[in-house]
């Protein structure tokens, strides 16, 4: 076999491999996202009264107008060791704001994503302390992934504005004011829609100095893949502190397919495709010990999800749900 035959064979093998990947990705695609709901996922406990109450029915309670100012969705998987500190900081800030602004109303929905520890029990202690109007616990029957947990919480929320925040409390809650100010600005210019992301991009140079070379390469590779396959309007897609209007949450989460770590990228890609305005603001962020994210397996999953995300939308295998009419 001369070099030309070898080259042609290599091209054929590459084409076959690409075809197999495309067929595999498309075969596992569902045009519109399917959100199964299991027994027990429609109710929350009022710990003081010992009574179970129904959440608003899905597929999307977001379609109806919000009845309170702010809903905070907290996805939590085995977070009994970190949740208390986050809830303490969040509720102190929100209660102080409520005292200063009597009409302000909020709720926190802790979404236990199939935890094996006492996350739900701990969340219900907060519900008992503050009341189920302020804190509710949604316990999922199985682990769906962070994106799946956030979506389930969003579908149950009552807020006119919706924030999702990580259970580790890495972003201080007072940073919410920056996001609210930015969201108000883009809302007034874009008929009430908008999503604002907390961003750690301004901290990148300092973080590189403390990271290993391997993790730095992974980070830059991920940024390139996000820009090429996902969204181009946001530098830090993965910061777990994002605020949006209720109508935006409705449009984005009804179309979300990815349930694990790359779900943020799909949310922002959908926003770009729907021409929903996006923005990011720098926030104070502190790395909290106890992360359950393995950098190797998570990176492989993210790179696959980003490529599959681009391919499925490119080929029309994934669709966006018809926008909700406000």
pLDDT of 63 reads 73
The domain limits of the chain are 40-315
Q: What pTM did the predictor assign?
A: 0.87
Rounded CA gap, 67 and 103, in Å? 12
Q: Does domain 40-315 have CATH number 3.40.718.10?
A: no
Q: For residue 180, what pLDDT is reported?
A: 97
Nearest 10 degrees: Cα torsion 313, 265, 119, 175:
-150
Q: Which residue has the tokens 């190797």?
A: 296
What pLDDT score was predicted for residue 208? 39
The secondary structure of 118-151 as a DSSP string is: SHHHHHHHHHHHH-TTTEEEEE-SS---HHHHHH
Q: Tell me the angle at which helices 263-273 and 295-315 cross, rounded to the nearest 10 degrees.
A: 30
The dihedral region occupied by 145, where left means phi > 0, alpha psi between -120 and 50, and beta the remainder, is: left
What pLDDT, on a 0 to 100 scale, did the predictor assign at position 128? 96
Burial 78-112 (b: 16+ CB within 10 A, else e): bbbebbeebbeebbebbeebbeeeeeebbbbbbbb
What is the maximal distance between C-alpha atoms in the chain?
Answer: 82
Q: Are 226 and 176 in contact (CB under 8 A)?
A: no
- The span from the first CA to the last CA of the chain, in angstroms, equals 66
pLDDT at 37: 87
The tens place of each residue's pLDDT in the chain, 326 residues long, gives 566 666 666 677 766 666 666 666 565 657 777 888 898 899 999 998 999 999 875 545 677 889 999 999 999 999 999 999 999 999 999 999 999 999 999 999 999 999 999 999 999 999 999 999 999 999 999 999 999 999 999 999 999 999 999 999 889 999 999 999 999 999 877 777 999 999 987 655 554 344 555 566 666 677 787 888 888 889 889 888 999 999 999 999 999 999 988 899 999 999 999 999 999 999 988 877 766 666 667 777 888 888 889 988 988 889 898 776 65
Q: Is 21 exposed, middle or buried (0-12, 13-18, 19+ CB in 10 A)?
A: middle
Q: Which two tokens stand for residue 260?
A: 């694990």
């Amino acid at each position: 076999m001369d070099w030309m035959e070898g080259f042609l064979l290599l091209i054929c093998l590459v084409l076959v491999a690409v075809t197999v990947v495309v067929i595999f990705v498309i075969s596992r695609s569902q045009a519109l996202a399917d959100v199964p709901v299991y027994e027990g996922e429609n109710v929350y406990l009022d710990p003081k009264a010992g009574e179970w109450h129904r959440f608003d029915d899905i597929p999307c309670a977001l379609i109806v107008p919000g009845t309170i100012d702010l809903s905070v969705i907290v996805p939590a998987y085995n977070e009994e060791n970190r949740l208390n500190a986050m809830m303490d900081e969040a509720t102190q800030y929100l209660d102080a704001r409520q005292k200063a602004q009597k009409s302000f109303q909020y709720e926190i929905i802790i979404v236990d994503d199939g935890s094996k520890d006492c996350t739900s029990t701990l969340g219900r202690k907060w519900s008992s302390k503050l009341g189920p109007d302020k804190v509710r616990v949604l316990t999922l029957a199985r682990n769906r992934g962070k994106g799946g947990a956030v979506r389930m919480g969003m579908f149950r929320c009552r807020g006119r504005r919706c924030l999702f925040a990580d259970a580790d409390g890495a972003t201080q809650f007072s940073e919410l004011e920056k996001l609210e100010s930015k969201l108000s600005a883009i809302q007034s210019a874009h008929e009430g829609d908008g999503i604002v992301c907390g961003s750690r991009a301004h901290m990148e140079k300092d973080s590189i100095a403390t990271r290993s070379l391997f993790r730095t390469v992974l980070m830059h590779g991920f940024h390139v893949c996000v820009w090429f396959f996902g969204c181009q309007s946001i530098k830090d897609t993965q910061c777990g502190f994002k605020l949006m209007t209720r109508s935006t949450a409705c449009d984005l989460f009804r179309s979300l397919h990815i349930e694990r770590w790359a779900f943020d990228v799909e949310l922002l890609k959908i926003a770009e495709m729907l021409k929903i305005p996006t923005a990011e603001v720098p926030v104070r962020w502190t790395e909290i010990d106890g992360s359950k994210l393995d950098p190797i397996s998570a990176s492989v999953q993210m790179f696959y999800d980003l490529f599959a995300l681009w391919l499925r939308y490119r080929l029309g295998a994934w669709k966006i749900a018809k926008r909700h009419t406000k």
